[in-house]
Amino acid sequence: MIVFALIFACGSTSPPAVEPKPEPPPAAAVEVGPELMEALKTADAADGVEDKVATKCSGCALAMDGDAAHAVDVDGYSLHLCSSMCKENFTKDIPDNLKQLVN
């Protein structure tokens, strides 16, 4: 009787559903020439570690901390942007936004 009461109180005997891991962001289709490569390297070095992960927000000219939840991949570099709005604005024109980092 107690077992039935516990099952009824808990609502289910099946294990909880496991959330799937989020897919990594797709790489942005951007042709990377020397100027854009310099911008990617600048963004990567802004956090003091050259690891092809820019943790400072490239959309905010590297002034704010980025978040991996709002990442954009460009030519093997992961650019962490600070918010979904910043990511949306940055991805509208990735080459131009990257050029602003070195100009």
| Adjacent-strand bridge partners of 29 | none
For the stretch 4-36, pLDDT in tens is 554 555 555 555 667 765 555 555 667 889 999
The Cα–Cα gap between 85 and 96 comes to: 17
- The mean pLDDT value for 36-62 works out to 94
The pLDDT score that the predictor gives to residue 70 is 96
The pLDDT score that the predictor gives to residue 30 is 76
Q: How confident is the model at residue 103 (pLDDT cuts 50, 70, 90)?
A: confident
> Residue 45 gets which letter from DSSP?
H
Q: Where are the domains of the chain?
A: 25-95
